[in-house]
Amino acid sequence: MKGLIKKGKRYGFQAGIPKDVREHFDGRKKFQKLFDTEDEGRGEVLAAEADREFRAAIFQHRQNALNGKRLSPERIQQITGWLFGQHINDRGESDFYELKDALRVTVIEHLHDGFDLVAGLDPDGIAFEQIVQGVEDLLRWTERAGYARHKKPEKLGATLIGACEAWAEKAKHVPKTIAQYKKSVKDFTRWFELGHGQCYGASISATHVDQYVIAMMKRNVAKATIGRELSALRLIYKYGRFRGLNPFSGVNDRMIVEGDQLKVRDFTDVEMKKLLHPKHQDHPAIMIAAYSGMRLSEIASLKRSNVEKVGPINVFNLKTGGRRKTKAAYRKVPIHPILFTKVIRPLLKTKPDDFLIDAGSTDALSKRLARVIDEVTPDPAVRAHSFRHTFITKLAEAGVPRELRMAIAGHEGSDAHDRYTHASFIAELSRKIVKVRYD
C-alpha cells in the first residue's frame, strides 16, 4: 500500500508533511513511524491506521488555523505562567523529571481533560519549546529570589518515587549507589507516566516492565545495564510493600532480550519428550502447561473448584478465581484427555477451596520449572513461557484457525470470548485441543 516502507526487517509508514503544517512536526518534511513487526500483512494494517491518524492530525492543524487557534504570543505567555505555577506546586514529584518531560506530562493530561488554555498546543511543537524556555527563566528567578518551595515526597506505599525516597533515608548504601537507584526510579517513572498516567506502585504490571525493557533495547542500552536497572527497581518495589507480585522479578524467566524485542522460542520435539518424561511427574504444572497453553499465573491460581464440566467436557473455568491479564483471559479451557487422565483426575480428591497443585506464587513456579528446563537445555531463549508458545504452535500445525487459537490461549483481539460459556463452542474448542500431541 502507499506509504508502507521497510527498514531492515521492520515495516513502517512514511508520508510527506505539507508545508503549511510542518511547524507542528518540528519543521520536518517527512513523517515516519516504524512498527514492531516483520510481517508484511500486519505492516499494511498498521500503516493504514497510521495514515488515517496522520491525515486526521493534518486536518486538525489546518482547522485550528482556520479557527484562529494558532498560539499568539499572549497565549504562550499565559500558558508559560500557568505551567510555571503547576510545576512549583508539584515540585516534590517534578524534581525527578527533566523539566521538559514534566511540563509535557502536565500538558498532555490537561489536553485529555479538554482544558481550554492548552487547546491547540502541540507538546512536541515549536511553541512548546518556547514555553519550556520561559518556565526555565522563571524558575531561575525564583531560585535566586528564594521563592521556590518544595513539596514533601509521596508517602511510602503510594508511588514508586515515594518508596524510593523513604528507602534512601534508611539505606546503608554508598551515596553513589543511592543516586543511581534514584535515577533508575526516575527514568522508569518518567517513561511510565508519559504513556500510562501517574506511576503508583500497585499499578505497575509485568507487561509494563516488558515494554520498558523493549524501550531500553530500542535505545541500544546494554543488557548488563538493563539488568542493573531492573535490580534497583525490584528492590524499591519490594521496599514499597505494594500489593501483588513484584513485576520487576522474573523478567529473564519470562523471556530473554533479543534485538529490540523480548523473545522466547518453542521447545523442540526432543526437548518436550524429555520434559514429559515420567521422572518429572512430581511437577504436574509441566503437563498442565504443555497440554493447556495457560499462563503460569493461571496455573498457579487453579483451585479444585476451577475444574468443572460443560456438558460431557471437563474444563478449567478461568472466569472465576482471581484477576486475569486481559478480558479475553476470562475463559473456559477444555482439558486435554491425556492431561485429565494422567494429572487432573487424581487431583480432584482435594477440597473445592484447595489449590489444584502446590505451585506457590507465579515466580516460585517459574523458578521450579526453570530448574527442570535447565536440565534439558541451557538455551536462555527457552523458559517456562515456552510451554505456552509451543502449545499454540502445535494448534497452528494441526490446522486450528487463528481465532480459535486465540480463544483457547486467551489472547486479546479474538471476538470469540463472548461465546466461551456456550456448550457448543466449548465442544468445538475441545475437538481442537485434542489435536495437540507430543509423540
- Please report the DSSP string for 78-103 in residue order: HHHHHHHHHHHHTHHHHTTS-HHHHH
Strands (E), 217-369: 256-258, 261-263, 307-310, 313-317, 332-334
Domain count, the chain: 4
Of 295 and 362, which is predicted with more confidence? 295
pLDDT digits (tens, 9 = 90+) for 328-384: 788 889 999 999 998 898 888 877 788 888 877 777 788 788 888 888 888 877 888
* Residue 152 belongs to some domain of the structure: no
pLDDT at 148 > cutoff 50: no
pLDDT at 419 > cutoff 60: no
Which residues, listed in sequence order, are joined to residue 29 by a DSSP beta bridge? Answer: none
- State which of 237-251, 281-295, 355-369, 413-427 shows the largest mean pLDDT: 281-295
CATH code of the domain covering residue 418: 1.10.443.10
- Looking at residue 426, its pLDDT comes to 85
Q: What's the farthest any 2 CA atoms get from each other in the chain?
A: 79
Residue 380 CA to residue 252 CA, distance in Å, equals 8
Of 151 and 324, which is predicted with more confidence? 324
Of 133 and 148, which is predicted with more confidence? 133
pLDDT at 59 > cutoff 90: no
* Residue 150 belongs to some domain of the structure: no
pLDDT at 89 > cutoff 80: no
Of 155 and 36, which is predicted with more confidence? 36
Residue 93 CA to residue 91 CA, distance in Å, equals 5
Could you tell me if 406 and 307 lie in one domain? yes
pLDDT at 152 > cutoff 50: no
Could you tell me if 53 and 83 lie in one domain? no
Q: Which amino acid is at 306?
A: N
Residue 386 CA to residue 229 CA, distance in Å, equals 25
Residue 293 CA to residue 289 CA, distance in Å, equals 5
pLDDT at 96 > cutoff 50: no
- Looking at residue 64, its pLDDT comes to 64
The DSSP result for 183-220, as a single string, is: HHHHHHHHHHHHHHSS-BGGG--HHHHHHHHHHHHHTT
Contact (CB, 8 A) for 56 and 14 = no
Of 25 and 340, which is predicted with more confidence? 340
Residue 421 CA to residue 331 CA, distance in Å, equals 8
- Average pLDDT over every residue of 183-204: 85
pLDDT at 151 > cutoff 60: no
* Residue 438 belongs to some domain of the structure: no
Arithmetic mean of pLDDT over the chain? 80
- Average pLDDT over every residue of 270-297: 87
* Residue 363 belongs to some domain of the structure: yes
7-21, 117-131, 289-303, 379-393: least confident range: 117-131
pLDDT digits (tens, 9 = 90+) for 215-248: 888 777 777 788 889 999 999 998 888 766 788 8
Task: With CA atoms as reference, report the closest residue to 203 among 239, 261, 157, 167.
Answer: 157
For residue 397, count other CB atoms closer than 10 A to its CB.
10
- Looking at residue 143, its pLDDT comes to 56
- Average pLDDT over every residue of 164-170: 89
* Residue 151 belongs to some domain of the structure: no
- Looking at residue 188, its pLDDT comes to 94
Could you tell me if 126 and 179 lie in one domain? no
Could you tell me if 256 and 344 lie in one domain? no
Could you tell me if 288 and 381 lie in one domain? yes
Domain that includes residue 423, residue range: 269-433
Could you tell me if 309 and 233 lie in one domain? no
Q: Which residues of 326-363 are buried (b: 16+ CB within 10 A; e: fewer)?
A: eebbbbbbbbbebbbebbbeebeeeeeeeebbebebbb
Q: Of 86, 116, 145, which residue sits at a domain end?
A: 145
Q: Of 90, 119, 145, which residue sits at a domain end?
A: 145
pLDDT at 139 > cutoff 60: yes
pTM over 0.85: no
- Looking at residue 93, its pLDDT comes to 41
Percent of the chain exceeding pLDDT 90 equals 14
- Average pLDDT over every residue of 195-212: 81
Could you tell me if 425 and 354 lie in one domain? yes
Could you tell me if 118 and 186 lie in one domain? no
Cell of 248: 520487576
Compute the chain's Rg from CA coordinates: 26
* Residue 166 belongs to some domain of the structure: yes
* Residue 388 belongs to some domain of the structure: yes
CA–CA distances in Å: residue 134 to residues 24, 139, 233, 274: 19, 9, 34, 66
Q: Of 263, 297, 321, which residue sits at a domain end?
A: 263
Could you tell me if 306 and 418 lie in one domain? yes
Question: For residue 147, what pLDDT band results from cuts at 50, 70 and 90?
Answer: very low
* Residue 369 belongs to some domain of the structure: yes
- Average pLDDT over every residue of 282-294: 89
Helix, strand, or coil here: 16? strand
Could you tell me if 131 and 173 lie in one domain? no
- Average pLDDT over every residue of 98-104: 76
Could you tell me if 330 and 395 lie in one domain? yes
Q: Which amino acid is at 252?
A: N
Could you tell me if 179 and 311 lie in one domain? no
- State which of 301-305, 366-370, 411-415 shows the largest mean pLDDT: 301-305
